[in-house]
Amino acid sequence: HRHLLGIQGLGPQEITAILDLADGYVDQNRSVDKRKNLLRGRTLVNLFFENSTRTRTSFELAGKRLGADVINMQTQASSVAKGETLIDTAMTLNAMHLDALVVRHPDSGAVKLLSEKVNCAVINGGDGSHEHPTQALLDALTIRRHKGRLAGLTVAICGDVVHSRVARSNIYLLNTMGAQVRLIGPKTLMPAAVDRMGVDVYHDMRKGLDGVDVVMMLRIQNERMKGNFIPSIREYFHFFGLDREKLAMAKPDAVIMHPGPMNRGVEIDSDVADDVERSLIREQVEMGVAVRMACLDLLTRNIPNQVAV
């Protein structure tokens, strides 16, 4: 079975094939009749060991709009709460002849481990601070639809990079597609290996935003801090929160993105988050359904030679 465990290892043609297919699903989702029967008879299970609003809901909608049967497993309400392990949970579900399993887990690498034990396609819905591949794909689709391309753009990814699987997947994707990535944030929130990531690093947000095409903000992940950060919210916002004044350093037509959930007033001011001209935050959510339909389609319909991870 083919899986989508990360962006790392995907080539430009594979990424472009997913984005092109997703583009068509955007139109289907805007039409009155949103349902197709491409995946009729297939079964998708969402297995989430961490909270989610966007990823879980959009995978559910994506599966249903392609005609699949969809089951949502909330681990708080499952036998995981009685002590059943990740692998036993996966093997139990596997015995029910699934076609696709979307997994979110707090540990980096847990989804890959699980993918080695089951007979269905596994999609990583976010594992620890490792990868969140469908988020990077939906971000890329959103950017491509606004800017017409990815190659040659300068994209600033700002904030809590060290804990961010979204940042990691976006760095892989944007580098692969020929965009220039800048990381902006305090030294304490940069990964140790940042020098080997093919990015430019800035600790001064105004300098980092100078002339960029895309400003991608990240949530401060308080639940993953192990005592290594946080001065005060006010101080963080002063130096690294996106507001109108810092945004003025970017290109006049620069767009604003955030994967969600947002901490308003911490990493982003409501004034710019809700800017109807430049904020693409709601559109990112819309693109999420289309991208997840494309991923489910490619992985479970077994279209040859397109996605091999």
Binding residues for carbamoyl phosphate: 54-55, 104, 132, 135, 260-261
Binding-site entries: 54-55, 82, 104, 132, 135, 165, 219, 260-261
CB 33, min distance to ligand CP, A: 27
Q: Give the separation between CA 304 and CA 298, rounded to whole angstroms.
A: 9
Burial of 229 (C-beta count, 10 Å sphere; 0-12/13-18/19+): middle
> Closest by alpha carbon to 250, among 283, 275, 233, 231?
275
Report how many residues bind ligand CP under the rule CB under 6 A: 9
Tokens of 276: 């109807």
Under the criterion CB under 6 A, does residue 152 sit at the interface with ligand CP? no
Under the criterion CB under 6 A, does residue 13 sit at the interface with ligand CP? no
Q: In what order do the strands lie in the sheet with 43-48?
A: 69-74, 43-48, 100-105, 121-127
58 or 89: CB nearest ligand CP: 58
99 or 127: CB nearest ligand CP: 127
89 or 135: CB nearest ligand CP: 135
Length, in residues, of the chain: 309
Sign of CA pseudo-dihedral 224, 226, 232, 236: negative
Given a contact cutoff of 8 angstroms between Cβ atoms, the answer to whether 137 and 291 are in contact is yes
Binding-site entries for L-aspartate: 82, 165, 219
CB 254, min distance to ligand CP, A: 21
CB 130, min distance to ligand CP, A: 13
61 or 201: CB nearest ligand CP: 61
The footprint of ligand CP on residues 236-265 (CB under 6 A) is 259-261
Sign of CA pseudo-dihedral 206, 212, 215, 221: negative
Under the criterion CB under 6 A, does residue 55 sit at the interface with ligand CP? yes
Under the criterion CB under 6 A, does residue 224 sit at the interface with ligand CP? no
Under the criterion CB under 6 A, does residue 53 sit at the interface with ligand CP? yes
Q: Give the separation between CA 94 and CA 45, rounded to whole angstroms.
A: 10
Under the criterion CB under 6 A, does residue 54 sit at the interface with ligand CP? yes
The footprint of ligand CP on residues 159-218 (CB under 6 A) is none
The rounded radius of gyration (Å) of the Cα atoms in the chain is 19
The footprint of ligand CP on residues 112-151 (CB under 6 A) is 126, 135
Tokens of 154: 């300068």
Burial of 283 (C-beta count, 10 Å sphere; 0-12/13-18/19+): middle
CB 125, min distance to ligand CP, A: 7
43 or 135: CB nearest ligand CP: 135
Question: If you ran DSSP here, which 8-state letter would residue 180 be given?
Answer: E
The footprint of ligand CP on residues 75-94 (CB under 6 A) is none
Considering only the stretches 52-60, 61-69, 182-190, 205-213, report the one whose residues sit in contact with ligand CP under the rule CB under 6 A. Answer: 52-60
The contact set with ligand CP (CB under 6 A) reads 52-55, 126, 135, 259-261
